[in-house]
Amino acid sequence: MQTFKKAGVAILATLLCLMFSQHTVSAQRGRGGGRSSSFSRSAPARQSAPVRRSAPVRYSAPVTHTPPASRPAYNRAATVNRQPASRTVVNNRTVINRTTVVNRRPTFRGSYGYHPSYRPAYHYAVYSRPPYLYGGHRYYTYHSYYYHPYIGYHYGPYWHPFGYFMASLAADAVLLSIENAQYRYYQGVYYQPYNGGYRAVAPPIGATIAVLPEGYQVVNAGGIDTYYYGGTFYAQTDAGYQVVQAPNGAVVYNLPDGAVATNLGGVSYLRYNGVYYLPTQVDGQDAYEVVQVQ
pLDDT at 285: 94
User: Could you tell me which residue, 26 or 9, shows the higher pLDDT?
Assistant: 9
Average pLDDT, the chain: 74
Say whether pLDDT at 276 is over 50: yes
Which tens digits make up the pLDDT trace of 65-110? 555 554 444 444 433 444 454 454 444 544 444 333 333 333 333 3
SS3 category, 2: helix
278 Cβ contact partners less than 8 Å away, ≥ 6 residues apart: 139, 141, 143, 145, 267, 269, 288, 289, 291
Average pLDDT over residues 157-162: 92
pLDDT at 116: 34
pLDDT tier at 47, thresholds 50, 70, 90:
low
Q: How far is CA 130 from CA 133, 250, 270, in A?
A: 9, 18, 20
Contact 116, 271 (CB under 8 A): no
User: Could you tell me which residue, 53 or 39, shows the higher pLDDT?
Assistant: 53
Q: What is the helix, strand, coil percentage profile of the chain, to 5? A: 10, 35, 55
123 Cβ contact partners less than 8 Å away, ≥ 6 residues apart: 112, 222
Closest alpha carbon to 124 in 135, 138, 136? 138
Which tens digits make up the pLDDT trace of 186-239? 999 999 999 999 999 999 999 999 999 999 999 998 788 999 999 999 999 999
What ranges do the domains of the chain cover?
86-293
Burial class (CB in 10 A: 0-12, 13-18, 19+), 204: middle
Residues linked to residue 181 through DSSP beta bridges, in sequence order? 178
Global pTM? Answer: 0.59
Which tens digits make up the pLDDT trace of 253-274? 999 999 999 998 889 999 999 9
What is the DSSP annotation of 132-180? EEETTEEEE-SSPP------PBP--TT---TT-EES---TTPEEEEETT
Exposure of 187 in the CB half-sphere (CA atoms within 13 A): 12
Query: Which residue intervals of the chain are DSSP H helices?
Result: 2-32
Closest alpha carbon to 187 in 229, 245, 237? 229
Q: How far is CA 292 from CA 110, 138, 234, 247, 277, in A?
A: 12, 8, 18, 9, 9
pLDDT at 3: 60
